[in-house]
Amino acid sequence: MRSVADQWLREVLLTLYRRSTATRAEIMAETGLHASSVSQAMRPLLRHGTILKVGDLESNGAGRPREVFSLNPDAVYFVSVDLEAQRIRFALLNFVGDIRYRWEEATGWEERLEVNKVFHGISMVLRNLDSRQLSRLLAVGISYPGMLDDQGRLTAFNLGLHDFPLLSELREKASAHRMDHLPIFIEPDRHSAVVAERWLGRARGYQNGLLLFVERGIGIGLFLDGKPVEGWRNMAGEIGHWKIEPGAEDPCGCGKRGCLEAIASSPSMIRQYLESTGQPSSNLSAFRITDVFEKARQGDPAASHVVERAAKAIGLALSYAINLLNPQIVILGGDLTSADDLFLPRIEREINQNGVPQLTRGIEIAMSALGLDMRLKGAGALAFRKSLADPALLRKMCSPVSLARGSVLPAT
Amino acid sequence: MRSVADQWLREVLLTLYRRSTATRAEIMAETGLHASSVSQAMRPLLRHGTILKVGDLESNGAGRPREVFSLNPDAVYFVSVDLEAQRIRFALLNFVGDIRYRWEEATGWEERLEVNKVFHGISMVLRNLDSRQLSRLLAVGISYPGMLDDQGRLTAFNLGLHDFPLLSELREKASAHRMDHLPIFIEPDRHSAVVAERWLGRARGYQNGLLLFVERGIGIGLFLDGKPVEGWRNMAGEIGHWKIEPGAEDPCGCGKRGCLEAIASSPSMIRQYLESTGQPSSNLSAFRITDVFEKARQGDPAASHVVERAAKAIGLALSYAINLLNPQIVILGGDLTSADDLFLPRIEREINQNGVPQLTRGIEIAMSALGLDMRLKGAGALAFRKSLADPALLRKMCSPVSLARGSVLPAT
């Protein structure tokens, strides 16, 4: 095993992750590796059960049938955590990125992040693995909203966090929960979302696109010329704090007024609905955003106004991003996926009204197929990619799998 | 010569262009080429006079002094053309990107592009070359504002052009002016500006930045992770048509109202000044933007208001771009460079008021050092890079130089 170049193993595994299935010829084409390098990398991976032969394609000529390979779904597991939504969401992902188990930790819209809940949730997920499976657990991926500075402090206005010492809290609490052996990779929510859509979702094959998701906050992920945009300090994507309605009074968690997030995030929409119907805003966490959407569908004027205003702000913001970046596809995700009937036509109207026709013509505006799982799947995919880069984790990934194929867990 | 790999020649020449001067060791470090490849490429280049030894550095150890090389300024020439400004601007550039001669063709703010003027201007530039120099003329680079579609038609609202058949006009008029032998490379103004700033200007060494220039229109060039952003159809950067003041009535060349360009481009600032002082707007082309700036400096209320409003709109737009892209540096160019005293503090104030502190903290806001030459130099640099990729032009670039060093033309 040691004799095979790690880089070849990485490229073969990454190709199979991104493509789900591939023939040797497809792996060669995608990695640019020679046939002999691909074969040398695949031999131990097949012998150890890290990858599986899952079928044969009929020959397209005189040659023998072409074998089709995939990752062994149960070769390794990842846990992913999404800090963005109303509840902290957890998933157990198998090696092919399927969600095998879910868990949520309740927290109100206005509650601050409690890192203990992160580890409690991880432990609830891990309960579902037997000891053999636990030994194949590779890493945890955490997707966070907001901005992490170079001291590991998180500022995420939508979570009420200002310079919150996320990294040191994670280290400390991991130790308290006896999880300090677990590699944890943390990524901005925009990157998780982009990677999920490009590897597993709607953006496969596109080179220039952006995806906007609305939940507790509003985030935007960008990929340009095929690469995710990270920015100088890995903080690109803070579109939620564009002062999109300069005169508006709506207060934002960032301390300013009129931000996109203060108008069009899910809790902001609920807040506006409560205010305009004279209900106490302390009801915020008792309400679900889908309730507001449902009322708008029934023609409730307050709910309709909230949706109209949010869609207008989102559409104007997207017209700016389109004029600036000339994407081929715009993907909408998060809570918007449960209200495409309400948002898609309104957002398209705003984009067409405000964008430059040369840039909006032919552009695709689409709903994410991954819905609320966008960031959970992306955090898992990023944990996989980071694990590839770590020699010890790569060796674990490629070590012999003793499990029979087929997990004891039901798919969810 | 043929025996030296073209790719090595390209990389050595590109490195010398971007660095001005370099030692062999620096060329190796920048290109990643082996010492023997660099030597093999440099031997014919030195023998033919394409590159020159321009000095020695003292040894930093026991070894012999390190030789310093540069391109031979007179090995080849480029003509560059900038369609963006009030006048069509032309330059003769030598091999190291210095402007050796300038020419302008008059055209009013509201006049449409006349392609005949482009070729007349080129011919006026070429008059300054003797026949030996003319034989070393490599290519013309044209920097255009707006968006070129895949049929070669240009839409540039600020030039009054909608689906203007730029490519076929250039072909036709080149023939009429007997210039069809001249290779012409055309590039969006944003790319010209970015390449100039990254290779020759203020953005050298930065990986994430953006530069905004104000002239007849407003353009923004982006470079992220060290690469210029082009977008799906090479149309990224249309920030001029962000509806930055949604309620504003100012008409824009694009047919909408309240666009950034309708408020803050140079002719828009002149127009507002004329309107608020009760002067006929037919005076537009008689006025220079520097007149408005000078009046604002003297405390004229109408001029001050125009500057204040434009700076506010530009600052808000930049705060959006900063939140979205997390650049390390923002460069301001074009007509703003003659009014940094008026614009820089106001734009910085708006960025700080509207941007997210985590993203604006530590960011550099700087004036372009290239001023109005940004796009002229960039169009020349891009013509150089495109010529490198063309085997026939590369051979011409590397053919023996018979001229003595030192041009007959005075530097300007």
What is the per-residue DSSP string for B300-325?
-HHHHHHHHHHHHHHHHHHHHHHHHH
* Section B294-311 average pLDDT: 97
Closest CA to A292 of A311, A267, A314, A316: A267
Q: How confident is the prediction for chain B on average, in pLDDT?
A: 91
ipTM metric: 0.89
Rg value, chain B, Cα: 22
The answer to whether A147 contacts B325, with C-beta atoms less than 8 Å apart, is no
Least confident window among A276-290, A342-356, B230-244, B291-305 = A276-290
By Cβ distance, the residue of B246, B254, B355 closest to A356 is: B254
Give me the residue label for tokens 């952006």.
Answer: A210
Which chain A residues are closer than 8 Å to B358 by Cβ? 147, 149, 155, 233, 235, 238
The whole-angstrom separation of Cα A157 and Cα A170 is 19
By Cβ distance, the residue of B149, B208, B321 closest to A232 is: B208
Interface of A with B in 142-161 (CB under 8 A): 147, 149, 155
Q: What is the pLDDT of residues B348-366, one digit of tens each?
A: 999 999 999 999 999 999 9
Distance from the Cα of B309 to chain A's closest Cα (Å) equals: 14
High-pLDDT (> 90) share of chain B, %: 78
Q: What is the model's pLDDT at position B285?
A: 78
* Contact with chain B for residue A338, Cβ under 8 A: no
Q: What is the model's pLDDT at position A60?
A: 67
By Cβ distance, the residue of A208, A222, A237 closest to B232 is: A208
**Could you give the C-alpha distances from A281 to A110, A276, B302, in angstroms and in order?**
11, 10, 46
Mutate to test the interface with B, among A227, A241, A318 (most CBs of B within 10 A): A241
By Cβ distance, the residue of B225, B237, B358 closest to A235 is: B358
Backbone angles phi, psi at B153, to 5 degrees: -100, 135
Calculate the CA B280 to chain-centre distance. 33
* Contact with chain B for residue A105, Cβ under 8 A: no
Which chain A residues are closer than 8 Å to B351 by Cβ? none
Q: What is the model's pLDDT at position B406?
A: 46
Q: What is the pLDDT of residues B10-68, one digit of tens each?
A: 999 999 999 889 999 999 999 999 999 999 999 999 999 999 999 888 766 666 678 99
Residue pairs spanning A and B at CB distance below 8 A: 121
The answer to whether B327 contacts A232, with C-beta atoms less than 8 Å apart, is yes
Virtual CA dihedral for A194, A197, A202, A206, nearest 10 degrees?
50
The answer to whether B239 contacts A359, with C-beta atoms less than 8 Å apart, is no
* Contact with chain B for residue A236, Cβ under 8 A: yes
- Contact between B408 and B130 under an 8 Å Cβ cutoff? The reply is yes
The answer to whether B235 contacts A321, with C-beta atoms less than 8 Å apart, is no
* Contact with chain A for residue B179, Cβ under 8 A: no
What is the spatial order of strands in the sheet that A161-164 belongs to?
Answer: A147-148, A154-156, A161-164
Q: What is the model's pLDDT at position B407?
A: 43
- B405 versus A94: the higher-pLDDT residue is A94
The whole-angstrom separation of Cα A387 and Cα A194 is 18
Virtual CA dihedral for B102, B103, B108, B111, nearest 10 degrees?
-110
The answer to whether B235 contacts A326, with C-beta atoms less than 8 Å apart, is yes
The whole-angstrom separation of Cα B296 and Cα B305 is 8
- Positive or negative torsion for Cα B197, B203, B208, B213: negative
Would you give per-residue pLDDT tens digits along chain A (412 residues)?
Answer: 445 789 999 999 999 999 889 999 999 999 999 999 999 999 999 999 999 999 888 766 666 678 999 999 999 999 999 998 778 999 999 999 999 999 999 887 777 888 999 999 999 999 988 888 899 999 999 999 999 999 999 999 888 899 999 999 999 999 999 998 999 999 999 999 999 999 888 998 899 999 999 999 999 999 999 889 999 999 999 999 999 987 899 999 899 999 999 999 999 999 999 999 998 877 777 889 999 999 999 999 999 999 999 999 999 999 999 999 999 999 999 999 999 999 999 999 999 999 999 999 999 999 998 888 999 999 999 999 999 999 999 999 999 997 544 444 433 4
What is the rounded end-to-end Cα distance, in angstroms, of chain A? 35
Which chain B residues are closer than 8 Å to A365 by Cβ? none
CA-nearest residue to B260 within chain A is A320
- DSSP characters over A163-215: EE-HHHHHHHHHHHTT-TTS-EEEEEHHHHHHHHHHHTSTTTT-SSEEEEEES
Confidence of residue B409 (pLDDT cuts 50, 70, 90): very low
The answer to whether B323 contacts A242, with C-beta atoms less than 8 Å apart, is yes
Mutate to test the interface with B, among A210, A232, A260 (most CBs of B within 10 A): A232
The whole-angstrom separation of Cα A137 and Cα A126 is 9
Closest CA to B381 of B16, B7, B4, B5: B16
By Cβ distance, the residue of B207, B229, B354 closest to A325 is: B229
Q: What is the pLDDT of residues B139-194, one digit of tens each?
A: 999 999 999 999 999 999 888 899 999 999 999 999 999 998 999 999 999 999 99
The answer to whether A320 contacts B237, with C-beta atoms less than 8 Å apart, is no
- DSSP characters over B215-245: SSSEEEEEEETTEE---TTS----GGG-B-S
Mutate to test the interface with A, among B222, B238, B257 (most CBs of A within 10 A): B238
Q: What is the model's pLDDT at position A3?
A: 53
Distance from the Cα of A169 to chain B's closest Cα (Å) equals: 21
The answer to whether A232 contacts B356, with C-beta atoms less than 8 Å apart, is no
Mutate to test the interface with B, among A320, A329, A351, A365 (most CBs of B within 10 A): A320
Backbone angles phi, psi at A356, to 5 degrees: -80, 125
Q: What is the model's pLDDT at position A113?
A: 86
By Cβ distance, the residue of B208, B233, B241 closest to A323 is: B241
CA-nearest residue to A246 within chain B is B245
* Contact with chain B for residue A326, Cβ under 8 A: yes
Mutate to test the interface with B, among A252, A356, A364 (most CBs of B within 10 A): A356
Mutate to test the interface with A, among B157, B210, B358, B360 (most CBs of A within 10 A): B358
The whole-angstrom separation of Cα B62 and Cα B277 is 73
Confidence of residue B1 (pLDDT cuts 50, 70, 90): very low
* Contact with chain B for residue A140, Cβ under 8 A: no
By Cβ distance, the residue of B207, B231, B319 closest to A208 is: B231
The answer to whether A220 contacts B328, with C-beta atoms less than 8 Å apart, is no
Mutate to test the interface with B, among A161, A323, A354, A365 (most CBs of B within 10 A): A323
User: Which uninterrupted H or E stretch holds A51?
Assistant: strand A51-57
Distance from the Cα of B315 to chain A's closest Cα (Å) equals: 12
* Contact with chain B for residue A319, Cβ under 8 A: yes
Which chain A residues are closer than 8 Å to B203 by Cβ? none
* Contact with chain B for residue A300, Cβ under 8 A: no
Q: Which two tokens stand for residue B92?
A: 């003769």
- Contact between A276 and A261 under an 8 Å Cβ cutoff? The reply is no
Give me the residue label for tokens 């302390």.
Answer: A282
Which chain B residues are closer than 8 Å to A242 by Cβ? 319-320, 323-324
The answer to whether B241 contacts A316, with C-beta atoms less than 8 Å apart, is no
Write the DSSP symbol of residue A331: E
